[in-house]
Structure 1
Amino acid sequence: MQFWSGTAFLPTRDLTTIASLLDKNGFTGVFTSDHLIYPRELRTPYPLTGDKPPWLPETQWPDSWVTIGALAAVTTRLRFSNAVYIVGARPLLEVAKQVATAAALSDGRVSLAVGTGWMREEFELLGQDFDNRGPRTTEMIHALRALWQGGWVSWRGEFYDVPEIMIEPHPPAPVPILCGGESDVALKRAARDCDGWVGTYYSWDDAVAIVGRLKEFRRRYDRADEPFEVIVSLSDPPSVDLYRRAEDIGVTGVMCAPWRDGRYREGIERFADDIITRCG
């Protein structure tokens, strides 16, 4: 079982300290979150509430790839990914360059977890089309893999047309691409086009149901026997038994935040002793 931690709602200045502690205590990796801005006039409803998002406008959301670069510099084995990165809000070549650079600097300790996003205002401010973000995200998955190969590369698709270019540094190894989202469209994208899926916070029964849908779609696309990551956060109290049962149904990683009130070292070390070493 892989053990990951998120960065959402943590003080930005604490992230390097937390990453170093996670690295030394056997955690697998860190997920960064992606919110660019909070507009004063927010017209787009947050999907989970139908109204405003459940965080304050001044909540800190540091840039994912700047954060990953900083955390990679203070760790040696910790992996990095996103929960999730809104690729369709950015130009294709910008995403390709950011991820490839992070992969090179971290010696391949990076994966990209994509999402389609929900805030129209972010797309508009960045000059990207909000309404076709779904199919553009799917095309970007394949375009990025082509652009990361090294040497002279190009891409031609429905939404993107990249002439022959060289974009360096390129990743030292193929960058795994995961997908977020719980709709059938998102789960099919993960099962058909990606190397894994990243979820959010679920009860045991909900996690079982979603993993079952992923397995069904992977069988439909003849990918049931290929390696595939499934990473979620579970609402049940942490235990060795819980994580072993999760492995049995196909979960490969869990997201944990084993601390309270900024007492990072104590919580991380206790979780490592009580859970990680016993699940190894």
Structure 2
Amino acid sequence: MQIGVVYPQIELGGDPTAVLPFGRAVEELGFDHLLAYDHVLGAVHAGRTPPLTGPYTERDPFHDPFVMFAYLAGVTKRIEFATGVLILPQRQTALVARQAADVDLLSGGRLRLGVGVGWSPVEYQALGQEFRSRGSRQEEQIELLRRMFTEPVVDFAGRFDRVDRAALVPKPTRSVPIWLGGSSEAAFERAARLGDGFIFSGGGVDHATDDWHKVQELVRAQGRPTETFGGEYVMAPWGEISDLTDQIEAWQRAGGTHVSVVTMGRGLDSVDEHIGLLSTLANALDRP
């Protein structure tokens, strides 16, 4: 099972000098991947009807995952980069294809594209996309992305996108794997039909395991092999290191293929402190 780390964007405060040492530490300490959350904009929650449901506000910093991963691709050799998750329907599909292809090319095939539908209509409005149709748009986008990654010329006419005999050049050397994330039944069903894997977060490992088994059953019902369908658990929160290792072992017993450890929420306020915790975790987890 692959063990990775979530980039602690909130507690590193958007500090651009923190990205390089943190990314290098993830690789040097033997972790398998770096996962990054995604928001283009944070919004004021007060006075909105209906209220915003997510945890982030106008005060919470984020780096663009594609930009950050392209930067880290040049200073690392081994670790995989995963978006967990990129809010796909608020973006132009062809532009995502270009950005994902370049990160995969520049990193030597190390990108895993995790996508979701998000929760903030403010972001959708600012980016010129419709919020209410985001689930349907994501489905169409996944089909179009795969075609753009693999076909010499794409002629596509959908509900949301039109590509008139155009090509993505250069293409990635493979079809970039597309995983889905979320917590709804619709997300599970969509992933079973269209995805290469699913990213679970929150609720504890027992809850994630129940959902993982549900998704596996949906994959089987689609006539797809579960052996090639990945399952990642983003582990937050956790208490003592023994609790962390117990949860990782439980996820592995459940057949999970990936896990990502969150170092946020533990009172750390510098990149050195986060790297220090990673070092402790690497020893406890017997990272090579």
TM over 0.5: yes
Q: Deviations over 1:60-89 (max 9, x none)?
A: 111111111112122111111111111110
Q: 1:257 to 1:205 in 2, by over 3 A?
A: closer
Counterpart Cα distance in 1 of 2:38 and 2:226 = 31
**Superposed CA offset, 1:155-200 (max 9, x none):** 2333222111122221122200000111110011111100001121
Unaligned runs of 5+ in 1: 48-52
Equivalent of residue 45 in structure 1, options 43, 51, 65:
51
- Contact 2:45-2:57 at 8 Å conserved across structures: no
Q: TM-score, normalised by structure 1?
A: 0.89
Provide the aligned C-alpha RMSD in A: 2.0
Deviation at 1:100, TM superposition (A): 0.8
Counterparts of residues 40-189 of structure 1 (less than 5 Å): 40=44, 43=48, 45-47=51-53, 53-149=54-150, 151-189=152-190
Per mean C-alpha deviation after superposition, the further-off stretch among 257-266 and 1-10 is 257-266
2:214 is the alignment partner of 1:209: no
Return the alpha-carbon distance in structure 2 between the equivalents of residues 118 and 97 of structure 1: 25
What is the letter of the counterpart of residue 178 of structure 1? W
- From 26, 33, 37, give the equivalent of 1:33: 37
Match of 1:230 in 2: 231
Comparing 25-34 and 180-189, the one that deviates more: 25-34
Among all aligned residue pairs of Structure 1 and Structure 2, give the percentage whose two residues are the same amino acid.
Answer: 28
Which amino acid in the other structure matches residue 229 of structure 2? F
Cα deviation for residue 5 of structure 1 reads: 1.2
Partner of 1:267: 277
Residues 129/146 of structure 1: CA separation in 2 closer, same or farther (3 Å cut): same
CA contact (8 A) 2:233 2:251 kept: no
Aligned length: 272
Deviates more, 1:132-141 or 1:156-165: 156-165
1:251 paired residue number:
256
Q: What's the counterpart of residue 50 of structure 1?
A: none
Shift of 1:266: 2.5
Q: Residues 242, 32 of structure 1: CA spacing in aligned structure 2 closer, same or farther, 3 A cutoff?
A: closer
Deviates more, 1:228-237 or 1:59-68: 228-237
Shift of 1:21: 0.6
> Relative to structure 1, is the Cα distance of residues 150 and 10 closer, same or farther in structure 2, using a 3 angstrom cutoff?
farther
The 8 Å contact of residues 153 and 166 in structure 2, kept in 1 or not, is answered as yes
Distance 1:54 1:123 in 2: 17
Is 79-88 or 260-269 further displaced after alignment? 260-269
1:192 corresponds in structure 2 to: 193
Aligned-partner residue type, residue 249 of structure 1? A
Q: Could you tell me the TM-score, scaled by structure 2's length?
A: 0.87
**Partner of 2:6 in structure 1?**
6
Q: 2 CA distance for matches of 1:126 and 1:204?
A: 35
Gaps of 5+ in 2: none
**3-state SS in 2 of match to 1:148:** helix
| Shift in Å, 1:125 | 1.4
Secondary structure, in 3 states, of the residue corresponding to 1:67? Answer: helix
Distance 1:186 1:21 in 2: 33
Q: 2:232, 2:260 within 8 Å by CA — same for their partners in 1?
A: yes
Letter in 1 for 2:118: G
SS at match of 1:37: coil
Structure 1 counterpart SS, 2:73: helix
Contact 1:146 1:155 in 2 (8 A): no
For residue 132 of structure 1, report the CA deviation from its aligned partner.
1.1
Residue 247 of structure 1 aligns with an amino acid whose one-letter code is Q
